[in-house]
Structure 1
Amino acid sequence: MTVVTDRDAALYLTDIHNFFEAPSLDPFRGDSIEESGIDQLMDTMKARPRSAPPLERIVLHLLADQITPDLPQRLKAAIATYCDVQKRLSRQKVRETRIEGQRALRIGFIAWAVCLLLSTLSEQIFSHYTLQGRLFGEGFLIAGWVSLWRPAELLLYDWWPYAREMKLYEQIKAMAVEIRPRDTATVTPLPS
């Protein structure tokens, strides 16, 4: 569970390892968390309005027996490593999307040129003023522009989510980390 207060993101976990990997779902323990703490944090940050002030601190609530004096520093270093790896993967996805878009653009331009040629030919063969001439002429013209749809989508829009993820990982990496003992009353086992 993630709770956002002012500029803090509070995460309630039963195990520190669940910060990076999703816990196994155990209905008998009473936990209903289905994703890792970092994924919860990313989802929270993605859902925040862009006009909202940036989050500055991760407040991790853990069971008292799991907290050690060096845990905040170790977690901060682990978060930095994780965010660096995820940013590198997102940069790779941006590159892959652009390469795919360039390939699709070459194919799309060829298809567009062929359709434009077929449109012109059909209008000349059937005459622009007949039903068949308009049908084939306009149909080929529309098909040509549709062939450019995917390249435009790849080059203009599909890389945005990866670029946003890179910014979010940079923000998470810069956030301060605080660890507090979790009230054992918040971990409610199911009645027997």
Structure 2
Amino acid sequence: MSASVGQPACIELRLESIAHLFDPFDPFPLPSRDLAKGAEDFITGWARELPHDAPIEIVIHLPRSEAESDAAKGLQDAIARHFAYRAERVGGDVHELFRVGRLSLAIGLAVLVLCVAGGRILIGAFGDTPLTRVLAEGLSILGWVANWRPIEIFLYDWWPLLQRRRLLQRIAGSPVSIQQY
């Protein structure tokens, strides 16, 4: 499962039956049927380990009777649809994360404004004493802590989701070949 320059990196699966590739509880026929969790994890796990610039090829080894079946002819489409759908779902997760981030930011900024204003009001009402300064600073810190989550979302949380979406799109665009054994 490696690739030299210009060569596609192969992810190889050896199956006794095409049915092992798909979720047994999914009632839909090919090509809309979901892949089994183990098959999806295997493919994405290997794809994650491959060089990011190398094209991927999925090679499925099947017995002759399975390799010549109508179901085998639909594997390319089934695998492409599955991973394209997963990539679309992750894209939706990114949009949802940014929506939550915007809401969290609005709440965090409102809390920050209230805390800073509260600290100033506290100092104005009770004088600039060590106790009021400590309380005002505490309110200021509370206001900044309220912005921790939106900052975390906008700086860090979305990168892994975009990387996963790119990986799934890459797998969805990969050619699938069948080899008999």
> In 2 relative to 1, CA 44–128 (structure 1 residues): closer, same or farther, beyond 3 Å?
farther
Report what 1:13 is aligned to: 15
Identity of aligned residues (%): 27
SS in 2 for 1:10: strand
SS in 1 for 2:74: helix
Q: Deviations over 1:129-160 (max 9, x none)?
A: 51x23421221111111111111222333222
Measured in 1, the distance between the counterparts of 2:51 and 2:142 equals: 39
Structure 2, unpaired ranges of 5+: 4-8, 26-35
Q: CA deviation at 1:112?
A: 0.8
Q: How many residues align?
A: 166
On the 8 A contact 2:2/2:50 being kept in 1, the answer is no
> In 2 relative to 1, CA 49–174 (structure 1 residues): closer, same or farther, beyond 3 Å?
closer
> In 2 relative to 1, CA 102–82 (structure 1 residues): closer, same or farther, beyond 3 Å?
same
Report what 1:93 is aligned to: 93
SS in 2 for 1:14: coil
Q: CA deviation at 1:92?
A: 1.5
SS in 2 for 1:9: strand
What does 1:92-171 align with in structure 2 at a 5 Å threshold?
Answer: 92-125=92-125, 127-128=127-128, 130=130, 132-171=131-170
Q: CA deviation at 1:71?
A: 5.1
**What residue identity is the alignment partner of 1:162?**
L
Report what 1:81 is aligned to: 81
On the 8 A contact 2:83/2:172 being kept in 1, the answer is yes
On the 8 A contact 1:20/1:38 being kept in 2, the answer is no
> In 2 relative to 1, CA 39–126 (structure 1 residues): closer, same or farther, beyond 3 Å?
same
Bigger shift: residues 112-121 or 54-63: 54-63
Measured in 1, the distance between the counterparts of 2:16 and 2:145 equals: 51
Q: CA deviation at 1:106?
A: 1.0
Question: More helix per residue: 1 or 2?
Answer: 2
Measured in 1, the distance between the counterparts of 2:155 and 2:50 equals: 24
Q: CA deviation at 1:173?
A: 2.0
SS in 2 for 1:178: strand
SS in 2 for 1:5: coil
Q: CA deviation at 1:56?
A: 2.3
Structure 1, unpaired ranges of 5+: 24-33, 183-192
Report what 1:59 is aligned to: 59
Structure 1 outlier segments of 4+, above 6 Å = none
Measured in 1, the distance between the counterparts of 2:50 and 2:115 equals: 45
> In 2 relative to 1, CA 160–19 (structure 1 residues): closer, same or farther, beyond 3 Å?
farther
Measured in 2, the distance between the counterparts of 1:164 and 1:95 equals: 14
SS in 1 for 2:120: helix
Q: CA deviation at 1:162?
A: 2.7
**What residue identity is the alignment partner of 2:173?**
A
